[in-house]
Structure 1
Amino acid sequence: MPMNNRPAFASADGSALEIRALSHSDLSRVLEIERQGYSHPWSEAVFLDCFKDNYRLWALCKEDSLIGYAVVAYLVDEAHLLNLCVHPESRGCGAGRSLLEHLVGKAGDDGMVQVLLEVRVTNRAAEQLYISAGFEEIGLRPGYYPAAHGREDARVMTLPLGSK
């Protein structure tokens, strides 16, 4: 582990990646990535509301530049992945997978028994990432996400982490 005690690893393209806790000072960059990553991005107020004890917010950095983030809510013994986004220019090199593996590992360390998430039915890349990480679809939430023309369904997926 590097001297600053943050986990470091290499992406598929060989770049050094690092994961650390997300801070309030990261929000302007997070909002920039959020707007590029989603048709209906979260507002600053939504992100600010996530800085609570039962949330885990992770920053993914490449050469000290924030390139992705994840927001996870802990509810009893379940980790609910609410948002995982990687800057469009950093996709396809394993950055999202590294962030997902990190948050799943931390959830297990924190005694969570499963990770739950929703993913747009049209987001095939994210769905494939989750499936390749061991997530399984357990249901559908009709009209869960806002869309350009109405609402879009979400697949509900889960990854069991084992018993406490």
Structure 2
Amino acid sequence: MMRTPSDDFEYAFGSGKPNTNYLKPPVDMHSLFPVPRPMTEDDLDMVIDIERASYAFPWTIGIFRDCLRAGYYCQLLEQQGCLLGYGIISIGGGEAQLLNLCIREDHRNLGLGYRLLAHLVDIARKHDAGSMFLEVRPSNHAALNLYRHVGFNEVGIRPAYYPGEDGPDDAVILALALDNTFSK
């Protein structure tokens, strides 16, 4: 079969119909951004890997399992199937307690802790918590900076609260009023 000049034109420049492929993103744009989702028991191996890599005295897999079974709000932050971090809050009596918040070491200082914390605060608000409390080591400067940046205030110290390399460490108790707090 012999090609004609119009065949060559169509091959080179298309059929003359408008090309709208540029309007369709090559990937789902939502998958490019970290997305929070509930933690399940199937996630615990990945969670415990991050926990152990992040802390000298990590939570055990049993503690995470107990949090899930107790009905605490256990959330993950994930991007394209990759676990970036997790957070756990308990809610009761009009208060929320932030029990754990951790971002993978290779994804820190990217605003992911802020994003996950904002998500946990939203959950607490939806369940009528008026305030959120947490404990943090005085030596955890990155966490203290994040919490103070979003409006947490120091309300006390728990002496000898955490195990430490050279004996127990104190915990700084922080509180945040949820009626006037940051947003995502």
With the length of structure 1 as denominator, give the TM-score of the two structures.
0.88
Which residue of structure 1 lines up, in the alignment, with residue 168 of structure 2? 151
Moved over 3 A (4+): none
Structure 2 gap ranges (5+): 1-29
Higher relative contact order (Cα pairs below 8 Å, separated by 6+ residues): 1
Which residue of structure 1 lines up, in the alignment, with residue 56 of structure 2? 39
Which residue of structure 2 lines up, in the alignment, with residue 126 of structure 1? 143
Q: What is the CA deviation profile of residues 9-44 of structure 1, one whole-angstrom value per residue up to 9, with x for unaligned ones?
A: 9xxxxx511000011110000000000111100011
Root-mean-square deviation over aligned CA pairs: 1.6
Which residue of structure 2 lines up, in the alignment, with residue 79 of structure 1? 96
One-letter identity of the residue aligned with 1:29 = M
* Contact 2:91–2:127, Cα closer than 8 Å, also in 1: no
Which residue of structure 2 lines up, in the alignment, with residue 109 of structure 1? 126
Which of the pair is proportionally richer in strand? 1
With the length of structure 2 as denominator, give the TM-score of the two structures.
0.78
Aligned mates of 1:104, 1:79 — CA distance in 2: 9
Larger Rg belongs to: 2
Which residue of structure 1 lines up, in the alignment, with residue 45 of structure 2? 28
Count of residue correspondences: 151
Query: How has the CA–CA distance of structure 1 residues 53 and 146 changed in structure 2, closer, same or farther, with 3 Å as cutoff?
Result: closer
Which of the pair is proportionally richer in helix? 2
Structure 1 gap ranges (5+): 1-7, 10-14
Aligned mates of 1:58, 1:38 — CA distance in 2: 19
Aligned mates of 1:97, 1:123 — CA distance in 2: 15
